[in-house]
Amino acid sequence: MAFVNLKDLTPKKLSEGVELRAVSGDKMTLTLFHLAEGSSITEHAHPHEQIGTVLKGTMEMVIGTEKKIVPAGGLWVIPSNVVHKGRCVEGPAEVLEAFSPRREDFA
């Protein structure tokens, strides 16, 4: 699979108001999250390194003990096994994230 349009992939509902589309290679996964205003991704941690950016809307991100409001264009880096969560404070929001190694649970 050399070429994919993320918008053509079937969305996966994670929670109320949160869905994602994902594509994976051998070693990494790229996701496009759509979040309704007020929706959230609950606190969690995983072994994957994660880098994300807000394409549209505004997110409140908590990474470890640090909390920031992240507008469109803002980026974050989450090391492996660090507890984090996110909430859409102005939406709808679109968030593009990359994970390494690949997320088998998003495949």
What is the tens place of the pLDDT at every residue in 51-104? 999 999 999 999 999 999 999 999 999 999 999 999 999 989 999 999 999 999
Q: How far apart are CA 89 and CA 71, in angstroms?
A: 10
User: Nearest-CA neighbor of 54 among 68, 69, 39, 73?
Assistant: 73
Confidence (pTM): 0.93
Largest CA-CA distance found in the chain, in angstroms, rounded: 39
The superfamily in CATH containing domain 20-106 is Jelly Rolls (2.60.120.10)
